[in-house]
Amino acid sequence: MDTHLAYCSACDQEVRIAVKPLPVHGGQANLADDGEIVCLEFGEKCTGQFCPMFGLPSVMMGVRLARSELRSEGWKVVKGLCDGCNQVTEMQLIDRTHAFCTVCHTTNACTIVTAGEDDYILIGRAAPAPTRPAS
């Protein structure tokens, strides 16, 4: 996979970017979006709501990186009950409210509870988007 260097204003340094080719359906590439950009340096410095380089929600970049499995180190790993596979699994913490299940690749909404030196993770389902009947 190709990686490039790009300057990130949040990190104030150059970061490594990978472009993950999207799966091609029916032999036709989607011209509007020729790949999924993944920042390999996603981490504690990504405190803003949006990634300054790509304008994506920071958590989305974190989920992309976790899902891509391009980086196995640098994650804070906690154990929690996954909403996707209903097992207690090791989860990579994307931020304080999102955890990525390394078994089934579900992104769980979570709450971190710190007790002494250990972090505990409580998983809650992501609230469904509110819908209103058209009136």
Any idea what DSSP says for residue 49? S
Map residue 64 onto helix, strand or coil. Answer: helix
Question: Rule CB under 5 A: is residue 66 a binding residue for Zn ion?
Answer: no
Q: How far is the CB of 88 from Zn ion (least distance, A)?
A: 9
Which of the residues 67 through 96 are near Zn ion (CB under 5 A)? 82, 84-85
Q: What are phi and psi of 109, to 5 degrees?
A: -75, 135
Closer residue to Zn ion, CB minimum distance, 5 or 88: 88
Q: Please state the closest distance from residue 127 (CB atom) to Zn ion, in A.
A: 19
Between 8 and 82, name the residue whose CB sits nearer to Zn ion.
Answer: 82
- Which residues ranging from 98 to 117 are in contact with Zn ion (CB under 5 A)? 101, 103-104, 106
Answer whether 71's CB lies under 8 Å from 40's CB: yes
- Considering beta carbons, is residue 97 or 106 the nearer one to Zn ion? 106
Three-class SS of residue 57?
strand
d(CA 72, CA 40): 10
